[in-house]
Amino acid sequence: MILECFIFTVITFLVTETQCQATEVFAEEGSGAVLPCKTNSLSLIPAAIVWSKANKGTVWRKQKSGLQYWGASWLKSGSEGTRVRCPHSQFERGDYSLQINRVTEEDGGVYSCSVELDNRVVEEVVILRIIKVTVSPSVPIWGQDVSVTCDVTPWPYGLSVQWILNNSPFESQGQIISDRDVTKSVVRQKATARLTGNWSCAVSIRGKMGRASATVSVKGIIQPSDDNTKVYAAVGSSVVLPCVFSTGLIPSSPVWDKLKPGSHFNPAPGLLPRSFSPVSPLSQFAWDRSASLKEVAFDNEGRYRCSGIVQGQRQTRTMQLVVAKIESNILSKKKGSLMLTCQLSDTSEVTDYEWVRVTYDPNGTQSFETIQKGNKLSISVSEEIQGEWTCRFYGRGGILGNVTHHIQLMSGLSGQKSTRSSYNTAAVVGLSFLLVVLLLILAQMYKNHQRRKRILQYPALETIVHSISNEREEKERSRIKK
């Protein structure tokens, strides 16, 4: 009966479900496999055991006398002897399972176990399926086509395959490709950082599960991992523009560009800002090509691109520098009120603003006091306002950055003064104008007075002058009459 079942299984295992109960065993290539063969009856009498593989003959057998034999193909491996064994210690418990170490694809197939006890023969059929995950190319460069393949040898009809990347199911499932007698599941993707990690192929059939995994590490620019990543910086601060290649991957001809605005598809490099430095104070390794801006100005905002050549392929990464500043305005309507406005060169990722007042106790310990939400803050200059006023801005994933406005004691007072001085100046100007006018009037009056005095000294002269003028007037009148 066992022989029939065995032959039947060998013939049909690729085509249909086997009729007799063959045990499914999955093993990842390179790992160990245990092919179960158990009897219910315990026996102290040594049994004759035969493990054989379909089309390959005997794997291992033991005679009642205790002599062991290995199949020729299982004896090859060198000093360690053989990869298969059937531990005696388990025999007493009726366990005649076969252990195979470091399984290979060739080990996949149908095995049978035959145990001769007293006058009974116990038979088992086991199908060993080897799972293997391969990545091609083994170290993909960013942007290359990469394929992750799951091979199961032999591949059973109706096998379900699930791809798992870093412990979560991979969204776009692999395709199952059947090509004549080779069946496999393949995931094809453009290599990005997202593909980096532990890829597992979880297979199951008739309640039995197996799994194999492989690590994918995509080489290229690993930080930032995506194009158009936003980097936030406050005006006047220094900022690092990250551009880190995979560890040990040293790019040739690294270049930084600032891209002209509006050129999304075919970016034209523009001029780099003056405070730009192609090295970052933090970078220590040749694969860290991060750059820095020593002192960010508001118009330094925009898109930057770093690139370098790796294995003949240019790797590029773009990022956007978003600059934050605080505008401070004295409100003319509300006297003595200062309006702080938090401004960002790009607010597309910003969901929330928060104003925080930073104060220092005599020990120099910072303390934060949240004042309000929103990008505008109105503070009364009559209060004690010196210190740091920080605007924190948040995105969906949490804080994006902050920008601080310093109102120092001196500038605070002068700020107060300047608000007042603007009114004072007007008054002073007005007053001085009045004073000047008054002085001018006085001067004129004095002049007139002096002249009169002089004229009175010569009364005769005055009469003459007077009569002359009278004469002229009469002449005029007579002319009009004519």
Shortest distance in whole angstroms from residue 164 CB to ligand NAG: 6
Cα(412)–Cα(339) distance, integer angstroms: 14
Shortest distance in whole angstroms from residue 237 CB to ligand NAG: 9
H or E segment to which residue 97 belongs: none
21 versus 363: smaller Cβ distance to ligand NAG: 363
Tokens at residue 277, please?
């430095």
Shortest distance in whole angstroms from residue 326 CB to ligand NAG: 12
Cα(124)–Cα(95) distance, integer angstroms: 12
238 versus 316: smaller Cβ distance to ligand NAG: 238
253 versus 366: smaller Cβ distance to ligand NAG: 366
168 versus 266: smaller Cβ distance to ligand NAG: 168
Shortest distance in whole angstroms from residue 36 CB to ligand NAG: 22
What type of residue sits at position 237? S
348 versus 365: smaller Cβ distance to ligand NAG: 365
Strand segments, DSSP code E, in 19-159 are 22-28, 33-35, 48-53, 57-62, 68-70, 84-85, 98-100, 109-117, 120-136, 145-153
CB atoms within 10 A of CB 140: 24
92 versus 384: smaller Cβ distance to ligand NAG: 384
Cα(308)–Cα(316) distance, integer angstroms: 7
Shortest distance in whole angstroms from residue 405 CB to ligand NAG: 11
Max distance between CA atoms of the chain, in angstroms, equals: 174
Shortest distance in whole angstroms from residue 421 CB to ligand NAG: 31
196 versus 307: smaller Cβ distance to ligand NAG: 196
* Cα dist from 358 to 291, 302, 315, 337, whole Å: 30, 30, 43, 20
Shortest distance in whole angstroms from residue 129 CB to ligand NAG: 18
Q: What is the dihedral of CA 420, 422, 424, 428, to 10 degrees?
A: 170
Binding interface with ligand NAG (CB under 6 A) = 167, 198, 200, 213, 215, 356, 358, 361-363, 365, 368, 390, 392, 402
Q: What is the dihedral of CA 80, 84, 86, 87, to 10 degrees?
A: 30
